[in-house]
Amino acid sequence: MFYQYLRNELWKLFGKKRTYIGFGAFLVGQNAMLLMFHFTHWQEGVEKLLQGNGYIPTEYVSALTVALIMLIPQIVMLMPLYTALVGGDLVAKEAEDGTLRMILCRPISRFQLLSAKWAAGVIFSAILVLVLGATALGFARCWFPWKGMFVFAPGMVFNTLSASEGLKLYIYCHLFLTMNASVILGLAFMFSCFNMKPAAATILALTFLFVNLVMEGIPFFERYREWLLTHHFQVWLLVFSQPTPWERVAESLCVLFAFSLTSFLVGAAAFQARDIKS
Amino acid sequence: MIQLKNVFKEFGGRMAVENLSLQVPAGEIYGLLGHNGAGKSTAIGMMLGQVWPTGGEVQICGFEVTTRRREALGKVGAIFESPAFYDYLSGRRNLQILSTYTAPTTAARIQEVIDWVRLGNRADSKVRTYSHGMRARLALAQALLPKPELLILDEPSDGLDPEGIHEMRQTILRLHREMGLTILLSSHLLNEVEQLCTRIAVLNQGRKVFEGTLAETRQREKWVRVRVGDFGWAVQGLSQNGLIAQHRDGALIRLADGVGTDSVVSFLVGRGMAVFEIAPEEETLEGFYLTLMDQQRQDS
């Protein structure tokens, strides 16, 4: 039965055009960044950085390197926006449109319905992240050769990898990115379970993330950074570190999983208690 | 089929439904009447487990809705005013989605219901292209999918044109006749309720102020239509002599207890007034409803 509920949610989710806005925006963004990287001083800067550290730039300015460079700003800016948009819609849009009332006059339990919606949201997050990663790599490959990978994130990672090792970690990091996307979607989903408009749920989720991001940048909060969600979102980049800080990765994954579960349960409790009226 | 026992519902300090008890027996078409905000939709919401009662018991098909939802709603279909669908999906896909929330439904059953509501060749078109009437038929189709024994209709004719209202009325009668469904109908259209229902309940400010058969509403107050030369002069005289209790609309009188029409006629003729017509007036549901609401206002 759960499979059928999930199939329903996927039909609904992938049947509407606004679900694809994120995919479209990513494609446009990736191509714009690719052109910027190629035709501005951006590429030059990366080459100088490599040269300054004793590497041959032509060996590492590759499809994998550029794909990752393109990915970082999109992960920070666009991914939260689109996952929050979809997460905020999952329950609140149905309540607003009146279709939730049509569903809840049937014998399905509210918890089952929410579980199916949440699972559909996680599937959407995974597809969004995988498409994002695949297209970034595909577009980058059109312009750049298949060579070694250079990863640089200030204060976190500075590493060079062979193409095969780089590809393996590139695929690997997308699993962690899926986790990040699911957490953001879950946060918006939680707000969506309360009696509010879909836009309000999305805005609240983004506000929460923005506040986390701002606090993380303030030196005073340095000692509290483990409490900030955005700190744990960095885990996907840590897989490129040599050696990989597994303890930190495990800790962040636990925090993200717990956060996701908590937001689902809070949302489910709020949804269970509320009255569904026209 | 439906049993509400001393049900209360409070929204933020405002009592939406107060001490409501209702019993809808199997096989009836039961009308729920009341003005906007009287508590009809809240009562229906509680019957369908969408609104949590603050107190009391709500049983559907013998099961408590709040605790045994699956059993209680397994054989229930519902239609709301302005039925909402996934406009970007086809009618058939909407039915596939909604049916699974009750039980797995075969494609043949979905086609059978589509044919029954005469949605025919438009079932695979997107719902956004449907007219009001087609949406109403789709709403009916989704309500019929689980092969219901009880149909709850909340303002089903809302937004329909006169032809659509007539079609909906005929469909409700057909459902009752051919499938033997028990139907709870909430409507503003007194004419519709009068033509369909066998029993009604009237809600006012969350309280039930009347429950009974349609025949009882007609017998409750007996009005007599009189056509005389000067109605004002006639009622003045009749009132002074204690022959009538009330009058209205410039033509209707309600006789005092124990007084017959013969006494009225002989009184008027005795005073030299020509009586052109005197006949018992059949009370309409509208007349009954308005009088009831008037009494409620006076009581409060």
**What is the mean pLDDT of the segment spanning A27-42?**
87
**What is the mean pLDDT of the segment spanning B57-82?**
91
Say whether both B30 and B166 belong to one domain. Answer: yes
What the block records as the tokens of A275 is 């009255």
- Residue B182 and residue A131: Cα distance in Å, rounded? 52
What the block records as the tokens of A146 is 């298949």
pLDDT value, residue A63: 92
pTM for this prediction:
0.86
Confidence of residue B128 (pLDDT cuts 50, 70, 90): very high
Q: Which of A8, A11, A277 is the closest to B45 by Cβ?
A: A277
B50/A275 touch (CB, cutoff 8 Å), yes or no = yes
pLDDT value, residue B220: 65
Say whether both B74 and B142 belong to one domain. Answer: yes
A277/B69 touch (CB, cutoff 8 Å), yes or no = no
Say whether both B71 and B114 belong to one domain. Answer: yes
Return the domain boundaries, chain A: 2-273
pLDDT at B100 over 80: yes
- pLDDT > 90: percent of chain B: 43
Q: Chain B partners of A97 at a C-beta cutoff of 8 Å?
A: 84
Say whether both B128 and B206 belong to one domain. Answer: yes
The residue in chain A having the minimum alpha-carbon distance to the alpha carbon of residue B66 is: A109
- pLDDT > 90: percent of chain A: 60
CATH number at residue B83: 3.40.50.300
Which residue range forms the structural domain that includes residue B237? Answer: 222-282
Number of domains in chain B: 2
Decide if B296 is inside a domain.
no
pLDDT tens per residue across span B209-263: 999 888 888 766 678 888 988 888 898 999 998 888 888 888 888 888 888 888 8
> Among B40-54, B192-206, B215-229, which is the least confidently predicted range?
B215-229
Decide if B299 is inside a domain.
no
How many other β-carbons are positioned within 10 Å of the β-carbon of residue A15?
16
Decide if B294 is inside a domain.
no
Confidence of residue A256 (pLDDT cuts 50, 70, 90): very high
**What is the mean pLDDT of the segment spanning A102-127?**
94
Q: Chain A partners of B69 at a C-beta cutoff of 8 Å?
A: 107, 109
The pLDDT mean for chain B works out to 89
Say whether both B142 and B253 belong to one domain. Answer: no
Q: Chain A partners of B88 at a C-beta cutoff of 8 Å?
A: 15-17
A105/B104 touch (CB, cutoff 8 Å), yes or no = no
Interface-testing mutation among B51, B97, B127, B186, with chain A (most A C-beta atoms within 10 A):
B97
Say whether both B236 and B130 belong to one domain. Answer: no
pLDDT at B169 over 80: yes
Interface of A with B in 93-122 (CB under 8 A): 97-99, 101-109, 113
Say whether both B99 and B198 belong to one domain. Answer: yes
The conformation of residue B82, written as its DSSP 8-state character, comes to S
In 3-state terms, chain A is what percent helix, strand and coil (to 5)?
80, 5, 15
pLDDT value, residue A114: 96
B85/A102 touch (CB, cutoff 8 Å), yes or no = yes
**What is the mean pLDDT of the segment spanning B185-212?**
89
pLDDT value, residue B221: 66
Q: Which of A12, A105, A275 is the closest to B97 by Cβ?
A: A12
A36 to A68, A70, A152, A193, B66: CA distances (angstroms): 15, 10, 18, 41, 59
CB B47 within 8 A of CB B65: yes
pLDDT tens per residue across span A134-177: 999 999 999 889 988 988 888 778 888 899 999 999 998 999 99
The residue in chain A having the minimum alpha-carbon distance to the alpha carbon of residue B51 is: A275
